[in-house]
Amino acid sequence: PQMAFVSHREPNGTYTFSSRPRPVETRAKYREPPAQQPQSNYGNIMYDRRVVRGNTYAQHIIPTTAQVDPGEIQRQQEIRRRAIARRRAREQFRPKTPEALQGRKHIDVQTDVYLEELSDVIVTTDIECQTDDFLDRPATPLFIPAKSGKDAETQIEDGELFDFDSEVQPMLEVLVGKTIEQSLLEVMEEEELACLKAQQRAFEEMRNAELAEVHRLQEQERRRCEEKERRIAQQKEVLKKERETAEKIAARAYTQQYLANLLPAVFTSLRSHGYLYDPVERDIETNFFPWLMDEVYNNLEKRYTARELLDSKGRLIYIFKFMHSCLQSVILTATKYRHFILKEHLF
């Protein structure tokens, strides 16, 4: 049997397809009546196996046997990607219709090759006719009314219709009057311009005087404002100094009142802790009293020694005399030492 189409591949990698022409199938323009439409069998979707059972928003778990191999999915995607790339390459190398010219556009036209059987036979008849030649309509002539009345003629001599001496007088009067009027207008215009210039000069002088007065008043007002601001600043400075002086006086009075009882207490505390002292008293306490105690201790040691040696009345008399002599020597030494310390403190 003969094949209806032929498909082969070109050496450059593209495919060509061709098929035999066939007539277009005729199709009815209107739908068939309801009685002639085929009856459809309706079913219950509750028993249809294509309807998924269970939760509609949870992930549908596919059985292990029905899962597709990831390698097969990747291979199918690679085949699909290669097909898309080949299609894009064919579209790039395919000759395209040039762009339409300015003011025109392309429209789709049926260019497929097909045969259509023409069953209707149209009866045709040849008829011919010829019209006469007509010339163009000529232009309409102008309307000229008919002549009426009688013709007459006369003779005019020179000087009968125009007398120069009598006819030129009105014209001269008009020319002279116009000249005089124009001269008067020019003189009046000159006088008016001179008057306007004088008024403008007087106005400018008055305006300059007013501007000078305005400038003087502005300068006077500026000096007054500066003097006012300077006086205000001076007054503010005076008030500030008075306020500072009052604050200082109040602070001094408060300090004196606060320190009136604080200074004696501080001095007393410093004296009690030994920070403030009398030099003479401190010298006596640190130097004289230790020496005096040492001397008294030595004398007492001597007295104890003498008591051990003397156990009779003579011993007692000797002890008293010895103590008296020791005390006199100690008092004499203390007096000399005190005078010596006072001299050092004064000088």
If one compares 56 and 232, the residue with the highest pLDDT of the two is 232
Is the predicted pLDDT of residue 193 greater than 90, yes or no?
yes
For residue 296, the tally of other CB atoms under 10 A from its CB is: 13
Mean pLDDT to the nearest integer, 210-220: 94
If one compares 90 and 57, the residue with the highest pLDDT of the two is 90
Predicted confidence (pLDDT) per residue in 88-137, tens digit: 888 877 777 778 888 888 887 767 666 677 777 888 888 887 766 666 77
If one compares 198 and 263, the residue with the highest pLDDT of the two is 198
d(CA 34, CA 22) in angstroms, rounded, equals 32
Phi/psi of residue 136, nearest 5 degrees: -70, 150
Tokens of 23: 């007539």
Q: Please report which confidence band the pLDDT of residue 66 belongs to, taking 50, 70 and 90 as the band edges.
A: low
Mean pLDDT of the chain: 77
CA dist list (Å): 118 to 109, 115, 124, 167: 21, 9, 16, 103
Q: Please tell me the pTM assigned to this model.
A: 0.26
Predicted confidence (pLDDT) per residue in 278-290, tens digit: 777 777 778 777 8
- 98-102, 171-175, 297-301, 333-337 — which is least confidently predicted? 333-337
Predicted confidence (pLDDT) per residue in 34-53, tens digit: 555 555 566 788 778 787 77
Tokens of 315: 């011993």
